[in-house]
Amino acid sequence: MTGVGDRFAAFFNLFYPLTDLMDTPNLQHAVALVVDALEDIKGKDIEVIDTSKLTSLFDRIVIATGDSNRQVNALARNVEEKAKEAGLNVISVEGQGSGEWVLVDLGDIVVHVMQPAVRQYYALEELWASRAPARRPASPLVEPPEAG
């Protein structure tokens, strides 16, 4: 007999299939692609938080700041477009109406783009860093793995 957790995981995976990015060069490349997309539109204070040991729902959180509703929406839209161009699965984009906080769910990577006051109020870095073993500033673009 399977447990409730096993049934939930099977049900969850029907709607949110796992990608093969976990702790691989592909994950590193996907994170770098997100950071690059945010930097293209002048996103500020970009942080990448490793959550792989804290939750099985995603492996990285990327947080960035935009100065206005327009910039926050543009940052999120650029992440969404670059991810789709790279063949990543964009599960959902939430919050585009207000432009104060937009979330882009890429499965293994969850991107939060916020205005400064919202970012300071919710303090996601502090929430996850107090639990996360590894928190680091965003790194420069990592080259994709070569096809063998």
Amino acid at 39: E
Q: Are strands 60-65 and 109-114 parallel, antiparallel or unpaired?
A: parallel
For the chain, the distance separating the N- and C-terminal CA atoms, rounded to the nearest angstrom, is 42
Helix residue ranges, H only, the chain: 4-15, 25-40, 69-85, 116-122, 124-129
Q: Is residue 129 part of a domain?
A: yes
- What's the confidence (pLDDT) of residue 130? 60
- What's the confidence (pLDDT) of residue 128? 81
What pLDDT, in 10s, does the model give residues 84-127? 999 999 999 999 988 899 999 999 999 999 999 999 999 998 88
Q: Is residue 10 part of a domain?
A: no
Q: Is residue 11 part of a domain?
A: no
Domain residues for 94?
A: 18-137
Positions of the chain with pLDDT under 50 = 1-2, 10, 12-23, 132-133, 135
- What's the confidence (pLDDT) of residue 143? 56
Distance CA 115, CA 62 (A): 14
Q: Is residue 127 part of a domain?
A: yes
For residue 43, give the H/E element and its range. Answer: none
- What's the confidence (pLDDT) of residue 1? 43
Q: Is residue 24 part of a domain?
A: yes
* Domain count for the chain: 1
Distance CA 86, CA 104 (A): 15
* pTM metric for this prediction: 0.72
Distance CA 34, CA 8 (A): 30
Q: Is residue 5 part of a domain?
A: no
Looking up residue 72, the CATH number of its domain turns out to be 3.30.460.10
106 touches 90 (CB < 8 A): yes
Distance CA 60, CA 116 (A): 21
- What's the confidence (pLDDT) of residue 136? 53
Q: CB count, 10 Å around CB of 52? A: 16
Q: Is residue 1 part of a domain?
A: no
- What's the confidence (pLDDT) of residue 132? 46
Q: Is residue 79 part of a domain?
A: yes
